[in-house]
Chain A
Amino acid sequence: GENVEQHPSTLSVQEGDSAVIKCTYSDSASNYFPWYKQELGKRPQLIIDIRSNVGEKKDQRIAVTLNKTAKHFSLHITETQPEDSAVYFCAARFQYSGTSYDKVIFGPGTSLSVIP
């Protein structure tokens, strides 16, 4: 079945350093890959997403890269700040042509700690 793996499960970086979170997905039918940030006790918030026809997307200090051949995508956060500390979830949309099967599956999450 469809699956999204995410690594690492925990990540600690010094303030100002970069953080990279990697995800792999199981099925080449995926074409949409959002990333969510969830602070403690709060709702998941969409921070960036990428479509399958794009290899990279950047928004200020956040960037996402996609390698469809290898079926993996990554989140890059540069110049990390303490407020970046949160759990980050990657996700992939699985859709099968000709069917109504269409769902977004989430990775298990990465707990990022930015140390001042």
Chain B
Amino acid sequence: KAGVTQTPRYLIKTRGQQVTLSCSPISGHRSVSWYQQTPGQGLQFLFEYFSETQRNKGNFPGRFSGRQFSNSRSEMNVSTLELGDSALYLCASSLEGGGRNNQPQHFGDGTRLSIL
């Protein structure tokens, strides 16, 4: 099976712009979770989608949003970009999600977002 695929791998934006990141889960996985990874804060949970519904959400402002399509692919959008949004954005897929039923999460390579 193909692994979790994230596009693009690298992105450079300026403050105030918006950005959309994409994640294709492993075939058959219905849950997609998004994480922000920074050197100082580690892996911070953004949100989780399952069957096109946001099921859980972390402590991020409303500028961070996402959605999931019927084929389980997910997109994450960040509006009005700030310098502090520079990070590696990782998505992870699992059969059920959030460790539910103890199914492990598998990560993509991430999108490295740099804000100038």
Q: Do A and B come from one complex?
A: yes
Q: Mark B85-116, 1 if CB is under 8 A from A, else 0.
A: 00000100000011110101111111000000
| Chain A, interface residues (CB within 8 Å), range | 20 to 34
Q: Mark B23-51, 1 if CB is under 8 A from A, else 0.
A: 00000000001010000011101001000
Q: Decide yes or no whether B56 CB sits under 8 A from chain A.
A: yes
- When chains A and B are docked, how far (Å) is the Cα of A101 from the Cα of B109? 27
A59 to chain B, nearest CB (A): 13
- When chains A and B are docked, how far (Å) is the Cα of A108 from the Cα of B37? 10
Tell me whether A44 and B90 are in contact (CB under 8 A): yes
**Which residue from B43, B102, B105, B108 sits with its C-beta under 8 Å from A51?**
B102
- Of all chain B residues, which has the CB nearest A2? B45
- When chains A and B are docked, how far (Å) is the Cα of A108 from the Cα of B109? 19
Q: Decide yes or no whether A100 CB sits under 8 A from chain B.
A: yes
Tell me whether A104 and B105 are in contact (CB under 8 A): yes
Interface residues of B, count at CB 8 A? 24
Which residues 39-78 in A have Cβ within 8 Å of B in the complex? 42-46, 49, 51
**Which residue from A102, A103, A109 sits with its C-beta under 8 Å from B42?**
A109
- When chains A and B are docked, how far (Å) is the Cα of A45 from the Cα of B90? 12
Q: A44-B90, A49-B102, A89-B42 are in contact. Are A103 and B56 (CB under 8 A)?
A: yes
Known: A89-B42, A100-B56, A104-B105. 16 other contacts (CB 8 A): A32-B102, A36-B107, A42-B109, A43-B108, A44-B107, A46-B105, A49-B104, A93-B99, A93-B100, A95-B98, A95-B99, A102-B55, A102-B97, A106-B35, A107-B42, A108-B42
Please indicate the chain B residues that have their CB under 8 angstroms from the CB of A108 in the complex. 41-42
- Of all chain B residues, which has the CB nearest A109? B42
- When chains A and B are docked, how far (Å) is the Cα of A89 from the Cα of B58? 18
